[in-house]
Amino acid sequence: MSTIATQPGGIDLSPVMAPVFWGLTVSMILGGISILQAYIYFVNNRDQLVIRLTALFMIALDIASSALVAQSVYSYLVPHFGSLLPLQTFTTELAVDCMLSTIITFVSQLFFARQLWAATRKRTSFSIPLLIVFCSVCAFAFGTACTVVMVLYRHNIFLNRNSRFALLFGLAKGISALTDVIATGALFTFLSSSRTGLKGTDSIVKTLMEYTIERGALVTVIQVVLVIIFFTSDRLYWVPLHVNLTKLYANAFFAILNARNILNERRPALQLSSHRHTFKDRSDDDCEMPAVTLKKSVIISDF
């Protein structure tokens, strides 16, 4: 790691604290977006109790994560102002935040697996959702072990990085990235095969595909870049990506939930049959047009 220089006007802490500070700044912005999305969700949706409790759990962990990161930055800069000793220790708050990040990632990926299973259970086998669950569990296990190492070797995280920590961190983030790639690819493939030929229905499917790709691509790219920077740079450029990964998963989670209202607004010409779960174009009521079967879960309820 780059040495901390002593300047005529004081000590230059930028090699250590600049990435942490900017990570906190971006984290607060994304945290505010998460809270806004959560508010929109709870005001406009009446989902099953388990989904609403999951959403409440996610936003609570997201807020707690922001508070822990802020407390860590405070601990480094305020109580021991002018001293370099605190910078040699990984705070307990950051270790707990790493655990919260692991949990949020785990819940988000399980939720995505559940959505995939709900949408494809009558058309494909359970192999892909089960693979996603398996990878998520593995990433969760490595992430938990990484948190334990952070607590046990707190003096060897920022400085003189512990080899066990590096290995577990890389495995946790790498497997999480692989999980997101599998989940995104599987749901994209399913949606691609759900086109019906009706303009209104295909427009909804296209929108769902866009949401799927944007969600999956964003978190996957951040995960991969995080791992690359972590192993190739001796500075703490990986820290802001790490602390904000939690926010990205939370935002993606609520974005998927809230997207259903947007889809409902964009399908004024579609009518859902309550008995057969079929769609037909209202603009063509005067002509013969066969109803096209499309799983309701893909469009409204379970996606």
**Domain range list for the chain:** 6-270
Mean pLDDT score of the chain: 77
Say what the pTM is.
Answer: 0.77
CATH architecture of 6-270: Up-down Bundle (1.20)
- pLDDT: is 299 or 262 the higher one? 262
pLDDT of 98 reads 92
- pLDDT: is 288 or 218 the higher one? 218
Beta bridge partners of 270: 281
Q: How many CB atoms lie within 10 A of CB 142?
A: 21
Beta bridge partners of 11: 6
Q: Kindly report each contact of residues 147-154 with a partner whose C-beta sits within 8 Å and lies 24 or more positions away, as own/partner.
A: 147/95, 147/96, 147/98, 147/99, 147/102, 150/90, 150/94, 150/95, 150/98, 151/92, 151/95, 154/89, 154/90, 154/91, 154/92, 154/95
pLDDT of 147 reads 93
Distance of CA 101 to the CA centre of its chain: 9
Q: What is the mean pLDDT of residues 218-229?
A: 87
List of E strands, the chain: 6-7, 10-11, 270-272, 278-281, 292-293
168-208: per-residue pLDDT in tens?
Answer: 999 999 999 899 888 877 777 766 665 555 555 556 556 66
Rg (CA), the chain: 23
β-strands 270-272, 10-11 pairing: unpaired
Q: What is the mean pLDDT of residues 31-49?
A: 89
Q: How does residue 88 score in pLDDT terms, banded at 50, 70 and 90?
A: confident
| Three-class secondary structure of residue 18 per DSSP | helix
pLDDT of 146 reads 93
